[in-house]
Amino acid sequence: MSGRGNITTVKAGNVALEVERRGAGRPLLLLAGEEQLELDAAFVDALAAKFEVIIPSAPGFGHSERPDWIGSPDDVSYLILDVIAALGLSDVTVVGCSFGGWVAAEMATKNTSAISRLVLVDPYGVKIGGPYDRDVLDIWTEHPVKVAAAKWADPEKNKRDFSKMNDDQLTVVARNLESFARFCWDPYMHNPKLRERLHRVNVPTLVIWGEKDGIVSPAYGEAYAKLIPGATFAIVPGAGHFPHLEKPEAFMETLNGFIN
């Protein structure tokens, strides 16, 4: 992540996290997904026209450090709350995508004093089905071709070209893949406690889901939204697991209806 916005290092407790800031206005904290694809996405520019968009890299993602004690999105959520406090932010709109959505949900169960609104985009994080149900496609044991087909409505169009990346960019790709597994391997893509904590979320919440998400289904999303008091659930037609990347216009329309 270079040459985008203003990049600084923020101390969250003893952990140095990379934080990018773009645009000006009321603060909007964007928690990127596991691949940090949001950093190059068009919808962020649209947000930066109205907000100051603040994008922290979670520990082990981007260029943020990852001490051994951090082992779960639950741990990560405390650090991102520390970032909000360190930057002295208030009235923050928090938008979290996929892995970042899980972290955002964890944060909102802990402390919303500086958070005014919450937007979760195809997040992981809760267990909905029984022990034999696979709520989230097992992206680490399924064939990569099947995973890509589940992730995107149009997998061909969204292939990443690693041959065009320099070593620093590839290092970030590899760190992101590794840290995602570090935090989400077991229990797979959920925190057994989160389901019982979501009732504490006391800010207006919008849950957005890609209609064709094959990683986590819209039915899972709807059940997730029902666990958050007063949350609204919205579908983005024709999009997979990353509706903000695949259908940015429809996504922004849904988002604007909530944040304006």
Smallest gap, in angstroms, from Cβ of residue 165 to other proteins? 8
Cβ pair 97, 122 in contact under 8 A: yes
Piece in contact with other proteins (CB under 8 A), picked from 10-18, 167-175, 194-202, 207-215:
167-175
Smallest gap, in angstroms, from Cβ of residue 81 to other proteins? 24
Residue 61 binds to other proteins (criterion: CB under 8 A): no
- φ, ψ (nearest 5 deg) of residue 60: 85, -5
* Identity of the residue, 24 or 174, whose beta carbon is nearer to other proteins in the bound complex: 174
Q: Residue 63's Cα: distance from chain center in Å?
A: 17
Smallest gap, in angstroms, from Cβ of residue 80 to other proteins? 21
Residue 165 binds to other proteins (criterion: CB under 8 A): yes
Residue 159 binds to other proteins (criterion: CB under 8 A): no
* Helix H or strand E segment including 221: helix 218-226
Residue 186 binds to other proteins (criterion: CB under 8 A): yes
Those residues with Cβ within 8 angstroms of residue 115's Cβ, 6 or more apart along the chain or in another chain: 84, 92, 93, 94, 107, 108, 203
Residue 40 binds to other proteins (criterion: CB under 8 A): no
Q: Which of 129, 170, 200, 237 binds other proteins (CB under 8 A)?
A: 170
Q: Quick one: angle between helices 99-108 and 167-184, nearest 10?
A: 50
Show the tokens assigned to 189: 């893509």
Beta bridge partners of 222: none
Q: Which of 6, 113, 157, 163 binds other proteins (CB under 8 A)?
A: 163
Q: Is the dihedral of CA 67, 191, 109, 244 positive or negative?
A: positive
Those residues with Cβ within 8 angstroms of residue 196's Cβ, 6 or more apart along the chain or in another chain: none
Residue 142 binds to other proteins (criterion: CB under 8 A): yes
Residue 37 binds to other proteins (criterion: CB under 8 A): no
Piece in contact with other proteins (CB under 8 A), picked from 101-109, 159-167, 228-236, 249-257:
159-167
Piece in contact with other proteins (CB under 8 A), picked from 49-57, 124-132, 162-170, 224-232:
162-170
How many residues touch other proteins (CB under 8 A)? Answer: 23
Strands (E), the chain: 6-12, 15-22, 26-31, 51-56, 92-97, 115-121, 205-210, 232-236
Which residue is associated with the tokens 């216009």?
249
Smallest gap, in angstroms, from Cβ of residue 131 to other proteins? 14
Residue 2 binds to other proteins (criterion: CB under 8 A): no
Q: Which of 143, 156, 157, 192 binds other proteins (CB under 8 A)?
A: 143
Question: 73: cis peptide before it, omega within 30°?
Answer: no
Binding site for other proteins (CB under 8 A): 68, 140-144, 162-163, 165, 167, 170-171, 173-175, 177-182, 185-186
